[in-house]
Chains A and B, each alone.
Chain A
Amino acid sequence: MEQSTKKEKRGDRVVLDEAQRNRRSRKALDALEQDNYHEDPHANLIMNKKAPKFEDSLNTERKDRPGKRKSARDFKQVRFKKSLAALLEEDRALGTESPNYMTAAAPASKFPKRYFCAVCGMYGIYTCVSCGARYCAKNCLDVHQETRCLKWTA
Protein backbone atom coordinates (compact mmCIF):
# COMPACT_ATOMS: atom_id res chain seq x y z
CA MET A 1 0.00 0.00 0.00
CA GLU A 2 2.82 2.32 0.81
CA GLN A 3 4.12 1.81 -2.71
CA SER A 4 1.13 3.42 -4.36
CA THR A 5 1.32 6.57 -2.27
CA LYS A 6 4.89 7.11 -3.41
CA LYS A 7 3.94 6.94 -7.06
CA GLU A 8 2.38 9.94 -8.65
CA LYS A 9 -0.74 9.27 -10.68
CA ARG A 10 -0.98 10.93 -14.06
CA GLY A 11 -4.34 10.13 -15.60
CA ASP A 12 -4.87 6.44 -15.00
CA ARG A 13 -1.20 5.67 -15.27
CA VAL A 14 1.21 5.20 -12.40
CA VAL A 15 4.29 7.33 -12.98
CA LEU A 16 7.57 6.97 -11.11
CA ASP A 17 9.16 10.24 -10.08
CA GLU A 18 12.75 11.26 -10.76
CA ALA A 19 14.07 9.98 -7.43
CA GLN A 20 12.43 6.59 -7.90
CA ARG A 21 13.84 6.29 -11.41
CA ASN A 22 17.31 7.16 -10.21
CA ARG A 23 17.08 4.66 -7.40
CA ARG A 24 16.09 2.00 -9.88
CA SER A 25 18.94 2.66 -12.24
CA ARG A 26 21.39 2.71 -9.34
CA LYS A 27 20.06 -0.67 -8.23
CA ALA A 28 20.46 -2.05 -11.73
CA LEU A 29 24.09 -0.89 -11.81
CA ASP A 30 24.79 -2.32 -8.35
CA ALA A 31 23.49 -5.66 -9.59
CA LEU A 32 26.30 -5.69 -12.17
CA GLU A 33 28.79 -5.88 -9.28
CA GLN A 34 27.21 -8.90 -7.63
CA ASP A 35 29.37 -12.00 -7.19
CA ASN A 36 26.47 -14.46 -7.14
CA TYR A 37 22.76 -14.24 -7.78
CA HIS A 38 21.91 -17.48 -6.05
CA GLU A 39 22.24 -18.74 -2.53
CA ASP A 40 25.32 -20.53 -1.29
CA PRO A 41 24.68 -24.14 -2.36
CA HIS A 42 26.35 -25.40 0.82
CA ALA A 43 24.55 -22.99 3.12
CA ASN A 44 22.13 -25.47 4.65
CA LEU A 45 24.80 -28.13 4.89
CA ILE A 46 26.29 -26.52 7.96
CA MET A 47 23.59 -28.20 10.00
CA ASN A 48 24.50 -31.55 8.55
CA LYS A 49 26.97 -33.23 10.88
CA LYS A 50 28.45 -35.41 8.17
CA ALA A 51 29.58 -32.51 6.05
CA PRO A 52 32.65 -30.61 7.19
CA LYS A 53 31.70 -27.47 8.99
CA PHE A 54 32.42 -24.30 7.06
CA GLU A 55 34.22 -22.64 9.94
CA ASP A 56 36.37 -25.69 10.62
CA SER A 57 37.85 -25.77 7.21
CA LEU A 58 38.10 -22.02 7.00
CA ASN A 59 40.66 -21.67 9.73
CA THR A 60 43.99 -21.18 8.10
CA GLU A 61 47.02 -22.69 9.67
CA ARG A 62 49.46 -20.07 10.71
CA LYS A 63 53.01 -21.10 10.33
CA ASP A 64 54.43 -20.23 13.71
CA ARG A 65 58.07 -20.79 13.26
CA PRO A 66 60.12 -21.51 16.32
CA GLY A 67 62.11 -18.51 17.47
CA LYS A 68 60.17 -16.18 15.25
CA ARG A 69 59.47 -12.75 16.66
CA LYS A 70 55.77 -12.12 17.17
CA SER A 71 54.42 -8.90 15.81
CA ALA A 72 53.15 -6.42 18.34
CA ARG A 73 49.95 -6.08 16.38
CA ASP A 74 47.09 -8.47 16.62
CA PHE A 75 46.55 -9.89 13.13
CA LYS A 76 42.95 -10.90 13.61
CA GLN A 77 42.05 -7.43 14.85
CA VAL A 78 43.39 -5.71 11.78
CA ARG A 79 42.27 -8.18 9.17
CA PHE A 80 38.57 -8.33 9.62
CA LYS A 81 36.56 -7.91 6.47
CA LYS A 82 36.29 -4.27 5.56
CA SER A 83 33.99 -3.12 2.78
CA LEU A 84 35.03 -0.65 0.11
CA ALA A 85 32.59 1.86 1.62
CA ALA A 86 34.38 1.53 4.96
CA LEU A 87 37.77 1.91 3.27
CA LEU A 88 36.63 5.07 1.52
CA GLU A 89 35.28 6.44 4.77
CA GLU A 90 38.58 5.68 6.48
CA ASP A 91 40.43 7.33 3.60
CA ARG A 92 38.37 10.48 3.99
CA ALA A 93 38.93 10.55 7.73
CA LEU A 94 42.66 10.20 7.13
CA GLY A 95 42.45 13.14 4.74
CA THR A 96 44.31 11.31 1.96
CA GLU A 97 45.20 14.08 -0.42
CA SER A 98 44.42 14.08 -4.13
CA PRO A 99 45.01 12.34 -6.44
CA ASN A 100 43.12 9.50 -4.80
CA TYR A 101 40.41 6.96 -5.54
CA MET A 102 37.72 9.61 -5.69
CA THR A 103 39.55 12.07 -7.92
CA ALA A 104 40.69 9.39 -10.39
CA ALA A 105 37.16 8.62 -11.63
CA ALA A 106 36.80 9.60 -15.29
CA PRO A 107 34.13 12.28 -15.83
CA ALA A 108 31.07 12.00 -18.08
CA SER A 109 31.53 11.75 -21.83
CA LYS A 110 31.17 14.87 -23.94
CA PHE A 111 29.32 12.86 -26.57
CA PRO A 112 25.54 12.47 -26.62
CA LYS A 113 24.08 9.48 -24.85
CA ARG A 114 22.62 6.60 -26.84
CA TYR A 115 19.45 4.78 -25.86
CA PHE A 116 18.53 1.16 -26.34
CA CYS A 117 15.32 -0.79 -26.08
CA ALA A 118 15.06 -2.27 -22.58
CA VAL A 119 13.53 -5.39 -24.09
CA CYS A 120 15.32 -6.32 -27.29
CA GLY A 121 18.47 -4.15 -27.23
CA MET A 122 17.84 -2.33 -30.52
CA TYR A 123 17.78 1.49 -30.59
CA GLY A 124 15.20 2.73 -28.11
CA ILE A 125 13.54 5.75 -29.64
CA TYR A 126 10.51 5.90 -27.32
CA THR A 127 10.30 6.38 -23.59
CA CYS A 128 7.94 4.51 -21.29
CA VAL A 129 5.75 7.11 -19.60
CA SER A 130 5.54 5.15 -16.37
CA CYS A 131 9.16 4.34 -15.60
CA GLY A 132 11.31 6.11 -18.19
CA ALA A 133 12.68 2.91 -19.75
CA ARG A 134 13.38 3.02 -23.47
CA TYR A 135 11.71 0.83 -26.07
CA CYS A 136 11.74 0.45 -29.84
CA ALA A 137 8.19 -0.48 -30.82
CA LYS A 138 4.73 -1.32 -29.54
CA ASN A 139 5.36 -5.03 -29.07
CA CYS A 140 8.47 -4.39 -26.97
CA LEU A 141 6.51 -1.87 -24.88
CA ASP A 142 3.90 -4.55 -24.24
CA VAL A 143 6.54 -7.01 -23.10
CA HIS A 144 8.14 -4.32 -20.96
CA GLN A 145 4.87 -3.43 -19.24
CA GLU A 146 4.04 -7.05 -18.58
CA THR A 147 7.46 -7.86 -17.17
CA ARG A 148 9.73 -5.20 -15.72
CA CYS A 149 7.98 -1.85 -15.94
CA LEU A 150 6.38 -1.37 -12.54
CA LYS A 151 6.96 -4.85 -11.26
CA TRP A 152 10.40 -4.19 -9.94
CA THR A 153 10.13 -3.03 -6.40
CA ALA A 154 11.96 0.24 -6.36
Chain B
Amino acid sequence: MFVLDNGASTLKAGFATDAQPKVIPNCITKAKSETRRRFIGDQLEDCKDMSSLYYILCHEKGYLVNWEVQKQVWDYVFSKDCFNVDFDSTGIIMTEPYFNFCSIQENITEIFFEDYGAQSLSIMNPSSLVAYKYLIDNPKKLCCAVLDSGYSFSHVVPYVKKKRVKDNIRRINIGGKALTNYLKDALSYRQLNVMDETYVVNQVKEDVCYVSLDFHREMEMAALGNSRENTIWRDYVLPDYTSIKRGYVRPPEQTTGKATSAEQIIRMNAERFQTPELLFNPSDIGIEQMGISEAMMHSVNALPKEVQSHMYSNIVLLGGNAMFPNFKERLVQDLRMLIPEFYDINVTCENPINAAWEGGKALARCKEDLDDKAITKQLYEEQGIAYCVDFYNLL
Protein backbone atom coordinates (compact mmCIF):
# COMPACT_ATOMS: atom_id res chain seq x y z
CA MET B 1 0.00 0.00 0.00
CA PHE B 2 1.09 3.51 -0.76
CA VAL B 3 -0.16 6.36 1.47
CA LEU B 4 -0.49 9.90 0.14
CA ASP B 5 -1.70 12.81 2.26
CA ASN B 6 -2.16 15.25 -0.58
CA GLY B 7 -1.87 18.62 1.16
CA ALA B 8 -2.14 21.93 -0.66
CA SER B 9 1.28 23.05 0.52
CA THR B 10 3.13 19.77 1.04
CA LEU B 11 2.17 16.21 0.31
CA LYS B 12 3.16 13.52 2.76
CA ALA B 13 3.98 10.33 0.88
CA GLY B 14 5.39 6.89 1.51
CA PHE B 15 4.78 3.15 1.49
CA ALA B 16 2.79 1.90 4.45
CA THR B 17 5.88 -0.12 5.38
CA ASP B 18 8.02 3.04 5.65
CA ALA B 19 8.82 4.37 9.12
CA GLN B 20 7.71 7.86 8.16
CA PRO B 21 6.58 9.81 5.12
CA LYS B 22 8.57 12.12 2.92
CA VAL B 23 7.26 15.67 3.11
CA ILE B 24 7.34 17.06 -0.42
CA PRO B 25 6.24 20.51 -1.66
CA ASN B 26 3.08 19.93 -3.70
CA CYS B 27 4.00 22.46 -6.35
CA ILE B 28 6.42 23.47 -9.06
CA THR B 29 8.87 26.16 -8.08
CA LYS B 30 10.89 28.54 -10.18
CA ALA B 31 13.97 30.34 -8.95
CA LYS B 32 15.44 33.59 -10.16
CA SER B 33 18.90 32.06 -10.11
CA GLU B 34 18.05 28.92 -12.09
CA THR B 35 16.54 29.89 -15.41
CA ARG B 36 17.17 26.55 -17.11
CA ARG B 37 14.93 24.44 -14.95
CA ARG B 38 11.83 24.27 -12.83
CA PHE B 39 11.78 22.32 -9.59
CA ILE B 40 9.09 19.70 -9.18
CA GLY B 41 8.27 18.88 -5.57
CA ASP B 42 11.37 18.34 -3.44
CA GLN B 43 13.74 18.84 -6.36
CA LEU B 44 13.79 22.29 -4.81
CA GLU B 45 16.44 20.87 -2.48
CA ASP B 46 18.87 21.26 -5.41
CA CYS B 47 18.26 24.99 -5.45
CA LYS B 48 20.97 27.01 -3.74
CA ASP B 49 19.25 30.38 -3.71
CA MET B 50 15.76 30.45 -2.23
CA SER B 51 15.23 34.19 -2.66
CA SER B 52 12.18 35.33 -4.64
CA LEU B 53 10.96 31.81 -5.34
CA TYR B 54 7.95 31.67 -7.63
CA TYR B 55 5.34 29.06 -6.77
CA ILE B 56 2.97 27.26 -9.10
CA LEU B 57 0.57 25.60 -6.70
CA CYS B 58 -2.14 23.19 -7.72
CA HIS B 59 -4.72 24.08 -5.07
CA GLU B 60 -6.94 27.13 -4.69
CA LYS B 61 -8.27 27.68 -1.15
CA GLY B 62 -7.61 24.01 -0.46
CA TYR B 63 -9.18 22.49 -3.57
CA LEU B 64 -7.34 20.94 -6.48
CA VAL B 65 -7.71 23.18 -9.51
CA ASN B 66 -4.51 22.90 -11.52
CA TRP B 67 -4.36 19.33 -12.81
CA GLU B 68 -1.46 19.90 -15.11
CA VAL B 69 0.78 20.83 -12.19
CA GLN B 70 -0.65 18.22 -9.84
CA LYS B 71 -0.12 15.47 -12.38
CA GLN B 72 3.52 16.43 -12.84
CA VAL B 73 4.13 16.37 -9.10
CA TRP B 74 2.41 13.00 -8.75
CA ASP B 75 4.27 11.58 -11.76
CA TYR B 76 7.51 12.64 -10.12
CA VAL B 77 6.56 11.24 -6.69
CA PHE B 78 5.64 7.83 -8.14
CA SER B 79 8.62 7.74 -10.53
CA LYS B 80 11.88 5.91 -9.96
CA ASP B 81 13.48 9.27 -9.10
CA CYS B 82 11.37 9.33 -5.96
CA PHE B 83 9.36 6.33 -4.70
CA ASN B 84 9.28 4.04 -7.72
CA VAL B 85 5.71 2.92 -7.07
CA ASP B 86 4.61 -0.12 -9.04
CA PHE B 87 0.85 0.31 -9.26
CA ASP B 88 0.49 -3.11 -10.91
CA SER B 89 0.99 -4.55 -7.46
CA THR B 90 0.03 -1.63 -5.21
CA GLY B 91 -3.08 0.18 -4.07
CA ILE B 92 -3.19 3.68 -2.67
CA ILE B 93 -4.79 5.42 0.30
CA MET B 94 -5.02 9.15 -0.24
CA THR B 95 -6.59 12.22 1.32
CA GLU B 96 -8.98 14.79 -0.11
CA PRO B 97 -10.26 18.03 1.42
CA TYR B 98 -13.55 18.29 3.33
CA PHE B 99 -16.61 18.64 1.06
CA ASN B 100 -14.51 17.97 -1.99
CA PHE B 101 -16.19 18.69 -5.31
CA CYS B 102 -17.62 15.98 -7.46
CA SER B 103 -15.63 16.78 -10.60
CA ILE B 104 -12.37 16.70 -8.60
CA GLN B 105 -13.25 13.31 -7.14
CA GLU B 106 -14.06 12.01 -10.60
CA ASN B 107 -10.76 13.21 -11.99
CA ILE B 108 -8.76 11.67 -9.15
CA THR B 109 -10.56 8.35 -9.48
CA GLU B 110 -9.91 8.34 -13.20
CA ILE B 111 -6.27 9.33 -12.91
CA PHE B 112 -5.44 6.64 -10.37
CA PHE B 113 -7.29 3.80 -12.06
CA GLU B 114 -6.74 4.74 -15.71
CA ASP B 115 -3.44 6.61 -15.86
CA TYR B 116 -1.61 4.90 -13.03
CA GLY B 117 -3.50 1.61 -13.06
CA ALA B 118 -3.66 1.41 -9.26
CA GLN B 119 -4.93 -1.89 -7.83
CA SER B 120 -7.18 -0.13 -5.30
CA LEU B 121 -8.01 3.41 -4.22
CA SER B 122 -9.23 4.83 -0.93
CA ILE B 123 -9.99 8.53 -0.71
CA MET B 124 -10.62 9.94 2.74
CA ASN B 125 -10.52 13.20 4.64
CA PRO B 126 -7.25 13.64 6.55
CA SER B 127 -9.22 13.90 9.80
CA SER B 128 -10.81 10.50 9.13
CA LEU B 129 -7.40 8.85 8.96
CA VAL B 130 -6.37 10.61 12.15
CA ALA B 131 -9.61 9.62 13.91
CA TYR B 132 -9.19 6.05 12.69
CA LYS B 133 -5.75 5.77 14.28
CA TYR B 134 -6.79 7.58 17.45
CA LEU B 135 -9.71 5.22 18.01
CA ILE B 136 -7.47 2.20 17.38
CA ASP B 137 -4.82 3.49 19.78
CA ASN B 138 -7.56 4.17 22.35
CA PRO B 139 -9.83 1.15 21.96
CA LYS B 140 -12.20 2.21 24.75
CA LYS B 141 -13.09 5.45 22.99
CA LEU B 142 -15.85 5.82 20.42
CA CYS B 143 -15.72 9.55 19.80
CA CYS B 144 -13.21 12.22 19.00
CA ALA B 145 -13.04 15.73 17.58
CA VAL B 146 -10.28 16.45 15.08
CA LEU B 147 -9.01 20.00 14.69
CA ASP B 148 -7.23 20.22 11.34
CA SER B 149 -5.46 23.53 10.87
CA GLY B 150 -3.41 23.47 7.70
CA TYR B 151 -2.19 25.64 4.88
CA SER B 152 -5.48 26.63 3.26
CA PHE B 153 -8.01 26.62 6.07
CA SER B 154 -8.93 25.13 9.44
CA HIS B 155 -11.66 22.59 10.17
CA VAL B 156 -13.32 21.02 13.18
CA VAL B 157 -14.46 17.51 12.33
CA PRO B 158 -16.32 15.46 14.96
CA TYR B 159 -16.53 11.66 14.97
CA VAL B 160 -19.28 9.89 16.89
CA LYS B 161 -19.22 6.10 17.15
CA LYS B 162 -16.31 6.17 14.69
CA LYS B 163 -18.46 7.94 12.08
CA ARG B 164 -17.74 11.39 10.72
CA VAL B 165 -20.60 13.79 11.55
CA LYS B 166 -20.72 15.81 8.35
CA ASP B 167 -23.38 18.21 9.59
CA ASN B 168 -21.09 19.40 12.36
CA ILE B 169 -17.97 20.09 10.33
CA ARG B 170 -16.98 23.74 10.72
CA ARG B 171 -14.57 25.56 8.44
CA ILE B 172 -12.64 28.73 9.26
CA ASN B 173 -11.16 30.41 6.21
CA ILE B 174 -7.71 30.87 7.57
CA GLY B 175 -4.61 28.72 7.46
CA GLY B 176 -0.84 28.88 7.23
CA LYS B 177 -0.81 30.51 3.82
CA ALA B 178 -2.80 33.54 4.98
CA LEU B 179 -0.63 33.78 8.10
CA THR B 180 2.58 33.91 6.06
CA ASN B 181 1.06 36.47 3.69
CA TYR B 182 -0.15 38.54 6.64
CA LEU B 183 3.34 38.50 8.14
CA LYS B 184 4.89 39.43 4.79
CA ASP B 185 2.56 42.39 4.51
CA ALA B 186 3.15 43.57 8.09
CA LEU B 187 6.95 43.36 7.76
CA SER B 188 6.96 44.94 4.31
CA TYR B 189 4.89 47.88 5.46
CA ARG B 190 6.75 48.46 8.71
CA GLN B 191 10.34 47.49 7.93
CA LEU B 192 11.62 45.95 4.75
CA ASN B 193 9.99 44.86 1.51
CA VAL B 194 9.75 41.09 1.70
CA MET B 195 6.63 40.66 -0.43
CA ASP B 196 8.47 38.38 -2.88
CA GLU B 197 10.09 36.31 -0.15
CA THR B 198 7.39 33.79 0.71
CA TYR B 199 9.91 31.03 1.36
CA VAL B 200 12.02 33.14 3.72
CA VAL B 201 9.09 34.70 5.60
CA ASN B 202 7.53 31.28 6.04
CA GLN B 203 10.74 30.24 7.79
CA VAL B 204 10.60 33.39 9.91
CA LYS B 205 7.05 32.43 10.88
CA GLU B 206 8.06 28.89 11.78
CA ASP B 207 11.14 30.03 13.66
CA VAL B 208 9.80 32.85 15.85
CA CYS B 209 6.01 32.99 15.92
CA TYR B 210 4.10 31.54 18.85
CA VAL B 211 0.58 31.50 20.22
CA SER B 212 -0.01 33.94 23.04
CA LEU B 213 -1.44 32.70 26.35
CA ASP B 214 -2.00 36.24 27.65
CA PHE B 215 -2.71 38.41 24.66
CA HIS B 216 -3.42 41.65 26.48
CA ARG B 217 -0.29 41.45 28.62
CA GLU B 218 1.88 40.71 25.62
CA MET B 219 0.38 43.63 23.71
CA GLU B 220 1.44 45.86 26.60
CA MET B 221 4.89 44.33 26.56
CA ALA B 222 5.23 44.78 22.81
CA ALA B 223 4.19 48.43 23.21
CA LEU B 224 7.39 48.98 25.20
CA GLY B 225 9.24 48.72 21.90
CA ASN B 226 13.04 48.73 22.09
CA SER B 227 13.18 48.43 25.84
CA ARG B 228 15.08 45.88 27.86
CA GLU B 229 11.86 44.89 29.64
CA ASN B 230 10.33 43.84 26.36
CA THR B 231 11.09 40.13 26.30
CA ILE B 232 9.16 39.58 23.06
CA TRP B 233 11.29 41.29 20.49
CA ARG B 234 13.81 39.30 18.53
CA ASP B 235 16.27 40.04 15.78
CA TYR B 236 15.92 37.72 12.83
CA VAL B 237 18.95 37.57 10.56
CA LEU B 238 17.85 37.04 6.97
CA PRO B 239 19.64 34.61 4.67
CA ASP B 240 21.60 36.04 1.73
CA TYR B 241 22.32 32.59 0.22
CA THR B 242 26.00 33.32 -0.03
CA SER B 243 27.44 33.44 3.48
CA ILE B 244 24.14 33.00 5.35
CA LYS B 245 22.41 29.90 3.94
CA ARG B 246 19.47 30.00 6.28
CA GLY B 247 17.88 32.73 8.36
CA TYR B 248 18.09 32.48 12.15
CA VAL B 249 16.99 34.18 15.36
CA ARG B 250 19.59 35.89 17.47
CA PRO B 251 19.61 34.68 21.05
CA PRO B 252 17.83 37.15 23.39
CA GLU B 253 21.08 38.38 24.97
CA GLN B 254 22.41 39.35 21.53
CA THR B 255 19.22 41.16 20.55
CA THR B 256 20.40 44.65 19.65
CA GLY B 257 18.07 45.70 16.83
CA LYS B 258 21.13 46.49 14.75
CA ALA B 259 22.45 44.62 11.77
CA THR B 260 26.15 44.15 11.29
CA SER B 261 27.47 45.40 7.96
CA ALA B 262 27.23 41.95 6.37
CA GLU B 263 23.63 41.20 7.36
CA GLN B 264 20.06 42.27 6.93
CA ILE B 265 17.77 41.84 9.91
CA ILE B 266 14.07 41.93 10.63
CA ARG B 267 12.78 42.95 14.02
CA MET B 268 10.05 40.70 15.27
CA ASN B 269 7.90 42.19 18.00
CA ALA B 270 4.09 41.91 18.23
CA GLU B 271 4.15 40.09 14.87
CA ARG B 272 5.46 37.07 16.73
CA PHE B 273 2.14 36.39 18.44
CA GLN B 274 -0.28 38.47 16.36
CA THR B 275 0.30 36.21 13.35
CA PRO B 276 -0.89 32.88 14.85
CA GLU B 277 -3.49 34.84 16.84
CA LEU B 278 -5.49 35.12 13.61
CA LEU B 279 -6.37 31.42 13.91
CA PHE B 280 -8.03 32.16 17.23
CA ASN B 281 -9.44 35.57 16.24
CA PRO B 282 -9.85 35.81 12.45
CA SER B 283 -11.91 38.96 12.95
CA ASP B 284 -8.66 40.76 13.91
CA ILE B 285 -8.06 41.14 10.17
CA GLY B 286 -11.70 41.36 9.16
CA ILE B 287 -12.52 37.71 8.48
CA GLU B 288 -15.96 37.69 10.06
CA GLN B 289 -15.77 34.19 11.45
CA MET B 290 -15.23 32.71 14.89
CA GLY B 291 -11.79 31.37 15.76
CA ILE B 292 -10.84 27.72 16.03
CA SER B 293 -11.61 27.30 19.76
CA GLU B 294 -15.05 28.84 19.45
CA ALA B 295 -15.70 26.80 16.29
CA MET B 296 -14.85 23.66 18.25
CA MET B 297 -17.51 24.57 20.81
CA HIS B 298 -19.96 25.54 18.06
CA SER B 299 -19.54 22.15 16.41
CA VAL B 300 -19.78 20.14 19.63
CA ASN B 301 -22.76 22.12 20.94
CA ALA B 302 -24.74 20.99 17.93
CA LEU B 303 -24.18 17.32 18.82
CA PRO B 304 -26.48 15.31 21.12
CA LYS B 305 -25.93 16.27 24.80
CA GLU B 306 -24.76 12.81 25.80
CA VAL B 307 -21.76 12.78 23.48
CA GLN B 308 -20.55 16.33 24.10
CA SER B 309 -18.30 15.51 27.04
CA HIS B 310 -16.62 12.74 25.02
CA MET B 311 -15.70 15.20 22.32
CA TYR B 312 -13.84 17.59 24.62
CA SER B 313 -11.94 14.80 26.28
CA ASN B 314 -10.81 13.41 22.92
CA ILE B 315 -9.56 16.30 20.83
CA VAL B 316 -6.89 15.40 18.29
CA LEU B 317 -4.74 17.95 16.47
CA LEU B 318 -3.69 17.77 12.85
CA GLY B 319 -2.01 20.20 10.45
CA GLY B 320 1.11 22.37 10.46
CA ASN B 321 -0.34 25.21 12.52
CA ALA B 322 -0.44 22.94 15.57
CA MET B 323 3.37 23.23 15.50
CA PHE B 324 3.25 26.80 16.82
CA PRO B 325 4.45 26.85 20.43
CA ASN B 326 1.47 27.07 22.86
CA PHE B 327 -1.10 26.16 20.18
CA LYS B 328 -2.49 23.26 22.20
CA GLU B 329 -2.29 25.16 25.51
CA ARG B 330 -4.22 28.08 24.07
CA LEU B 331 -6.94 25.82 22.71
CA VAL B 332 -7.36 24.27 26.17
CA GLN B 333 -7.31 27.69 27.82
CA ASP B 334 -9.95 29.09 25.45
CA LEU B 335 -12.20 26.05 25.78
CA ARG B 336 -11.89 26.16 29.56
CA MET B 337 -13.45 29.63 29.46
CA LEU B 338 -16.09 28.70 26.90
CA ILE B 339 -17.48 25.40 28.15
CA PRO B 340 -18.94 24.22 31.48
CA GLU B 341 -16.30 23.32 34.04
CA PHE B 342 -17.50 19.75 34.57
CA TYR B 343 -16.28 18.85 31.08
CA ASP B 344 -12.79 17.36 30.98
CA ILE B 345 -10.56 18.68 28.24
CA ASN B 346 -7.91 16.43 26.78
CA VAL B 347 -5.97 17.24 23.64
CA THR B 348 -3.69 14.85 21.77
CA CYS B 349 -1.01 16.22 19.49
CA GLU B 350 1.55 13.81 18.07
CA ASN B 351 3.44 15.06 15.05
CA PRO B 352 0.51 16.98 13.54
CA ILE B 353 2.16 17.27 10.10
CA ASN B 354 2.42 13.51 9.61
CA ALA B 355 -0.71 12.56 11.56
CA ALA B 356 -2.93 11.86 8.54
CA TRP B 357 -0.21 9.84 6.83
CA GLU B 358 0.28 7.84 10.04
CA GLY B 359 -3.46 7.20 10.06
CA GLY B 360 -3.26 5.89 6.51
CA LYS B 361 -0.38 3.66 7.50
CA ALA B 362 -2.44 2.24 10.38
CA LEU B 363 -5.37 1.63 8.04
CA ALA B 364 -3.13 -0.19 5.55
CA ARG B 365 -2.16 -2.60 8.30
CA CYS B 366 -5.69 -3.80 8.97
CA LYS B 367 -6.93 -5.69 5.92
CA GLU B 368 -10.50 -5.93 7.14
CA ASP B 369 -10.89 -2.18 7.70
CA LEU B 370 -9.08 -1.35 4.50
CA ASP B 371 -11.41 -3.58 2.47
CA ASP B 372 -14.31 -1.54 3.87
CA LYS B 373 -12.80 1.72 2.69
CA ALA B 374 -11.17 0.83 -0.62
CA ILE B 375 -12.44 0.46 -4.14
CA THR B 376 -10.61 -2.21 -6.07
CA LYS B 377 -9.70 -1.82 -9.69
CA GLN B 378 -12.15 -4.58 -10.52
CA LEU B 379 -15.00 -2.84 -8.73
CA TYR B 380 -14.16 0.41 -10.50
CA GLU B 381 -14.25 -1.32 -13.85
CA GLU B 382 -17.58 -2.96 -13.07
CA GLN B 383 -19.33 -0.02 -11.41
CA GLY B 384 -17.80 3.11 -12.91
CA ILE B 385 -16.81 6.49 -11.55
CA ALA B 386 -20.13 7.72 -10.14
CA TYR B 387 -20.32 4.66 -7.91
CA CYS B 388 -16.82 5.33 -6.59
CA VAL B 389 -17.56 8.97 -5.78
CA ASP B 390 -20.72 8.04 -3.88
CA PHE B 391 -18.75 5.42 -2.00
CA TYR B 392 -16.01 7.87 -0.94
CA ASN B 393 -18.53 10.48 0.16
CA LEU B 394 -20.05 8.02 2.60
CA LEU B 395 -16.76 7.09 4.27
* Chain A contact surface mostly: loop
A-B contacts, 26 listed (Cβ < 8 Å) = A29-B287, A31-B181, A32-B178, A33-B181, A35-B56, A36-B55, A37-B184, A41-B32, A42-B38, A57-B38, A61-B75, A62-B115, A68-B117, A87-B101, A96-B102, A101-B171, A104-B155, A105-B170, A106-B295, A109-B291, A113-B283, A114-B284, A116-B274, A119-B189, A121-B271, A122-B219
Partner of B107, one of A51, A63, A78: A78
Given contacts A83-B60, A109-B281, A109-B290, 9 further A-B contacts (CB under 8 A): A29-B287, A41-B35, A60-B75, A101-B101, A105-B171, A106-B289, A106-B295, A108-B283, A116-B284
- Contact between chains at A78 and B110 (CB < 8 Å): yes
Chain B residue at minimal CB-CB distance from A147: B189
0/1 interface trace, chain B 283-308, chain A, CB 8 Å (1 if under): 11111111100110010000000000
Cβ-defined contact, B55 with A35, below 8 A: yes
8 closest Cβ pairs, A-B complex: A109-B290, A79-B67, A32-B178, A37-B195, A38-B196, A106-B295, A106-B170, A101-B99
Indicate which residue in B98, B116, B181, B270 contacts A122 across the interface (CB closer than 8 Å): B270
* CB of A110 closer than 8 Å to a CB of B: yes
- Whether the Cβ atoms of B65 and A94 lie closer than 8 Å is no
Contact-residue size bin, chain B (C-beta under 8 Å from the other chain) = 35 or more
Interface residues of A in 77-103 (CB under 8 A from B): 78-84, 87, 90-91, 94, 96, 99-101
Can you list, as one digit per residue, whether each of B156-168 has a CB less than 8 Å from chain A (1) or not (0)?
A: 1000000000110
Query: When the two chains form their complex, are residues B35 and A51 in contact, meaning their CB atoms are under 8 A apart?
Result: yes
Instruction: Kindly state the separation between the CA atoms of A88 and B146 in the bound complex, as whole angstroms.
Output: 25
Interface assignment of B31: CB less than 8 Å from any CB of chain A: yes
- Give the complex CA separation of A68 and B377 in angstroms: 13
Whether the Cβ atoms of A87 and B222 lie closer than 8 Å is no
Q: Let me know if B290 and A122 touch, CB within 8 A.
A: no
Query: B373 contacts the other chain (Cβ, under 8 Å)?
Result: no
Q: A95: shortest Cβ distance to chain B, in Å?
A: 11
Contact in complex: A38, B195 (CB < 8 Å) = yes
B185 is an interface residue with CB less than 8 A from chain A: yes
B35 touches A45 (CB 8 A): yes
- CB-nearest residue of chain A relative to B155? A104
Query: B61 in the interface, Cβ–Cβ < 8 Å?
Result: yes
- Total interface residues on A, CB under 8 Å, equals 61
The answer for the CA separation of A121 and B167 in the assembled complex, in Å, is 37
B65 touches A82 (CB 8 A): yes
Residues of B within 8 Å of A116, CB to CB, are: 274, 284
Please determine whether B170 and A33 come into contact, CB atoms closer than 8 angstroms.
Answer: no
Contact B166 A99 (CB under 8 A): yes
From B65, B222, B271, B289, contact of A108 by CB (8 A): B289
A51 and B36 contact, CB distance less than 8 A = yes
Flag whether A40 is at the interface (Cβ < 8 A): yes
Q: In the bound complex, do residue A109 and residue B283 qualify as a contact, i.e. CB atoms below 8 Å apart? A: yes
Alpha-carbon distance between A96 and B99 when the two chains are bound, in angstroms: 10
Contacts of B60 in A (CB 8 A): 33, 83-84
Using an 8 Å CB-CB cutoff, how does the interface string of A10-39 with B read, 1 for contact, 0 for none? 000000000000000100110111111110
